[in-house]
Structure 1
């Protein structure tokens, strides 16, 4: 670890822990660690800001020079949300990151993770709310899990045909999951564009690249949107 590290940005998702160093304002390549013990041992004395959708262990919560992002953290945006205590820290960070990148736009942030989230941050810096629905693999898993005979295609879906209508049961499950997400997002874009004419669409998450070319909008790929938001929040403190 170099001595001129400003801060370690930590994004704890449902399936991974991603860390990014910021040194002299420059973002390093994002890396993954296996668990919280590895995170603590690698960056024992560096300042951190953490966005987590999981419960954090006591040694991380009590760590010095560490900000655990929540709705109570001072933010450079305003949350127009009736239950801010339930708003995921990753969604807050992504909204801040979007507003930092495109301050003159109404930004729609779509994250293709375990769950799919769609959040709107307007050009005045107000988080207006969002949508949560099952992610791609969750849809595929759920149809198998909650039925007796439908197969789980979550590990093989990329080998199946990509037409709107399936010709086999597996292809039908694919169409319902993959194309269902596309039509869902395009419907949201069509509805919100009536009131937000400068709508800018930012996509992120592990499955984002599967959908980028299928959406009816100009897309900005925000691979580090959460990290950019975390850094902006850290500087705001």
Structure 2
């Protein structure tokens, strides 16, 4: 039996998962500066292993809490061994992107994969059937697109992301509708384009979506995708297992 602590510090939130025998038992969302909250959350529990990953500045308090919580601790970095081959400059590769690729390959070995992480940014990760991470792309996420249109123009308003119950027009009849349609439908066409290009090359390739907007975007795409919202956490746990 194994009991692992997984800490994924993102741009806006910190995800904490407790994993028992390869299965995620609990997930908590904390603020991006999560040290004290993390200490309260785990309440002195001891784990067989722990891993801490951050896409930005590390939280020193959180690092200390993680270090005290387990005998075997991995701090995710550019030299951390991973169970896939990486054909990418790891000095510039975010821990979340690599973990998503590892998680996807662990779920679907021997399959060519495209992983789309729909969070603050939209990232596209391409994994070969033999498990080689071939590379990927980074684009602005939904909120970044809305904010950029408002910030970098003189008169365009800041528009909120519509709920799925709201109809998104093909073309807007007002400026607000035009922004919504342009951002949401434009992003959907972007994602569908990546997927159709992949399937034109390899029909059997699988597409996995993860991240906070995965379910939202999947419902407006023309393409069929698989949804695994906890893919990064699964990948981090797999990396931890590979190192302990």
Length-normalised TM-score, structure 2: 0.88
Residue 77 of structure 1 contacts residue 125 of structure 1 at CA under 8 Å; is this kept in 2? yes
Aligned counterpart in structure 2 of residue 13 of structure 1, from 10, 17, 31: 10
Moved more, 19-28 or 159-168: 159-168
With 27-36 and 130-139 compared, the bigger mean Cα shift is at: 27-36
What is the rounded CA distance, in whole Å, between the counterparts of 1:10 and 1:221 in structure 2?
21
- Counterpart selection for 2:74 from 67, 74, 88: 67
- Give the deviation of 1:207 after TM superposition: 1.1
Please give the root-mean-square deviation of Cα atoms over the aligned residues, in Å. Answer: 1.9
CA–CA distance in structure 1, aligned partners of residues 7 and 60 of structure 2:
16
User: Separation in 2 of the partners of 1:160 and 1:91?
Assistant: 31
Q: Which residue of 2 aligns with 1:212?
A: 218
2:100 paired with 1:94: yes
Q: Report deviation, 1:134.
A: 0.5
Count of residue pairs the alignment pairs up = 232
Runs of 4+ in 1 over 6 A off after TM superposition: none
Please name the residue that 1:30 is paired with: 27
TM-score by length of 1: 0.90
C-alpha distance in structure 2 between counterparts of 1:15 and 1:21, whole Å: 20
- Cα distance in 2 for partners of 1:210, 1:38 equals 29
- Once the two structures are TM-superposed, the CA of residue 33 in structure 1 deviates from its matched residue by 2.3
Task: Could you tell me which runs of 5 or more consecutive residues in structure 1 were left unpaired when the two chains were aligned.
Answer: none
Counterpart of 2:186 in structure 1 is 180
Q: Deviations over 1:121-174 (max 9, x none)?
A: 1110111111111100110011001111100002x5338640111110000000
Structure 2: segments with no counterpart, 5+ residues: none
